[in-house]
A and B are shown apart, each in its own frame.
Chain A
Amino acid sequence: DAGVIQSPRHEVTEMGQEVTLRCKPISGHDYLFWYRQTMMRGLELLIYFNNNVPIDDSGMPEDRFSAKMPNASFSTLKIQPSEPRDSAVYFCACGTGINDEQFFGPGTRLTVL
């Protein structure tokens, strides 16, 4: 298995632009998580899905952020419009249980100018 795949690995964009981050989880893992990592705030859970259904989105910072999981093998995190304070590394992770091991992707480093 290739593990969790995220794309792009790096994204540089200008304030106000739409950004879409993509994730392909490990096959058979029913839980999918989106995290954001910054120096100031550490690692924050944004949202997680179970069987493609969003379960908890209380960590999504504001309406500019949205996430979807149209099928078991694909999820997106969209920021529209993007702002400089959204600059961070965004990780996708997956697992077979809510409090079992999570497998992380390599992350997408987002820079909003």
Chain B
Amino acid sequence: GNSVTQMEGPVTLSEEAFLTINCTYTATGYPSLFWYVQYPGEGLQLLLKATKADDKGSNKGFEATYRKETTSFHLEKGSVQVSDSAVYFCALSDRNQGGKLIFGQGTELSVKP
């Protein structure tokens, strides 16, 4: 079945450091891919998405490129801020499997001043 695997956290960085959170997926079809962010005490919010191979999603300085050849959707940001501290979830949605969102386990990011 479909699945999403993320790098384990917590990830601790200093302000202005470069961020990469790895995400790989397994899917039988051609899924859409998402990154959601969860700030403390809140629900998840969509950060960015990509719907087909080689698409790049971007928002708030974050980027991720849909790589079909490596089945990956790694999240990157060039310079993190303290306000980026949150839990980040990679997810996929496959129309061939009913289209439900399947989430990775989440990666906690902590950015220190």
- Seen from chain A, the residues whose Cβ lies within 8 Å of a Cβ on chain B are 4, 33, 42-43, 45, 48, 56, 91, 93, 97-99, 101-102, 104-107
Contact = CB atoms under 8 A, between A and B. Distances in A.
A81 to B, nearest CB: 27
B99 interface: yes
B24 interface: no
A42 B106 contact: yes
Given A42-B105, A43-B103, A45-B100, A99 B43 contact: no
Given A42-B105, A42-B106, A99-B32, A91 B44 contact: yes
Interface of B: 32, 34, 41-46, 49, 89, 93-95, 98-101, 103-106
Nearest to A4: B43
Contacts of B104: 42
Given A42-B106, A43-B89, A45-B100, A99 B42 contact: no
Contact of A101 (B41, B43, B46, B89): B46
Nearest to A101: B46
B44 A104 contact: yes
